[in-house]
Structure 1
Amino acid sequence: MKLRLAEMKDAMGIAKVHVDSWRQTYEGIIPDDYLASLSYESRKELWEYLIPKVHANVIIAEVDGEIVGFASGRIDPKTCEGEIGAIYILQGFQGRGIGREMMQQLFAFFEKENAERVKVEVLSANKSASFYGSFGGREYCTKDIEIADGFHEATYYEWTDYKAVLEK
């Protein structure tokens, strides 16, 4: 397994992981017709737009040259807070430490950028939601968010100390 920063040529690989992991993770949570409507092409366009803007904050995981996961994060310039935008790993590659290594790289970025706090939003029904708590994330609120013309509970985690992640 190899981690590296994303490049423009990775947009389609990221898009495939994005769509496939949504379909795997949110089956039975998000309506099937919405999941079926997700397309590689539209996600590729999204990532072609995002990669140049947040290049240093998009990390991909490759196994045998295939993108099997990605993570992204950003700093909010108004609040100096870090935000984990996504961590997606194809189901067949979960449980191998890929998520841990991507978290560590994101938090090294947040520390370098002097983020005062890092936060993430995750659907509460996502069976991987506890992943963030296992890295010392403190659950600080829940609220309903709208996805696919319906409302779903999201849990918010935050970190103010990076040691729990960087030393894990």
Structure 2
Amino acid sequence: MEIRTARPGDATALAELHVACWAETYPGLVPAEEIARYDRTFRLRQWEQQIAKGTSRIMIAPGAGFAQVGPQRETALAARGYVAELYALYLTRAAQGRGLGRALFAAALGPAPGRLSAMVLDGNDRACRFYETTGARLAERRPERIGDAEITDLLYLWDAAPAP
């Protein structure tokens, strides 16, 4: 499967993948109205802005998934040496279980990722297992809101470069 750096023309494909992955991953974890709120139009604007900004590494496997890694957004984590953050790693259900997630993750990390963090929604057990098998440890549970829904985010930390 082809994995490449996302280009401006990929914003539509990224938006469609993002919506599809949310629809497959989050029912039962996030209320349906919240999943629907992050529709194709919302995601298209998001990806157009992210690509144009150019501050993160966005990799796409067309039709199958994408990953995004960028500078740490939390000052406290950056101060502790977690210089990078995995913003997103999504695969369609049909693309899972073939090593594509690891390949996208490695491509988005680049050659020298350093210490890394990621947030995952509590209950997304597949993502938690993936992070743990690549060397992450669960560091913190954080209550959060998505619209009217109370959820729990899990903070994962890689104290060394992730294992491919």
**Kindly tell me: are residues 10 and 59 of structure 1, through their superposed partners in 2, closer, same or farther at Cα, counting changes over 3 Å?**
same
The Cα shift of 1:56 comes to: 5.5
Cα RMSD (Å) of the superposition? 1.8
Q: Given the two structures, how large is their TM-score scaled by the length of structure 1?
A: 0.86
Deviations 1:105-153 (CA, angstroms, capped at 9, x unpaired): 23335x16xx4x2000000111322210010101111111111212111
Structure holding more strand per residue: 1
Match of residue 142 from structure 1: 141
User: Aligned partner of 1:53: which letter?
Assistant: K
**Does the Cα contact within 8 Å between 1:5 and 1:57 map onto a contact in 2?**
yes
Q: Distance in 2 between matches of 1:70 and 1:89?
A: 7
**Does the Cα contact within 8 Å between 2:57 and 2:109 map onto a contact in 1?**
no
**Does the Cα contact within 8 Å between 1:5 and 1:56 map onto a contact in 2?**
no
Q: Given the two structures, how large is their TM-score scaled by the length of structure 2?
A: 0.87
Following TM superposition, the consecutive aligned residue runs of length 4 or more in structure 1 with deviations greater than 4 angstroms are none
Q: 3-state SS of the aligned residue for 2:108? A: helix
**Kindly tell me: are residues 55 and 98 of structure 1, through their superposed partners in 2, closer, same or farther at Cα, counting changes over 3 Å?**
farther
User: Do structure 1's residue 74 and structure 2's residue 76 form an aligned pair?
Assistant: no
**Kindly tell me: are residues 28 and 159 of structure 1, through their superposed partners in 2, closer, same or farther at Cα, counting changes over 3 Å?**
same
The Cα shift of 1:160 comes to: 2.0
User: Aligned partner of 1:4: which letter?
Assistant: R
Superposition pairs of residues 53-72 of structure 1, within 5 angstroms: 53-54=53-54, 57-62=57-62, 67-72=63-68
Superposition pairs of residues 60-139 of structure 1, within 5 angstroms: 60-62=60-62, 67-76=63-72, 79=78, 81-109=83-111, 111=112, 115=114, 117-128=115-126, 129-139=128-138
Aligned-residue identity in percent: 29
Alignment: residue pair count: 157
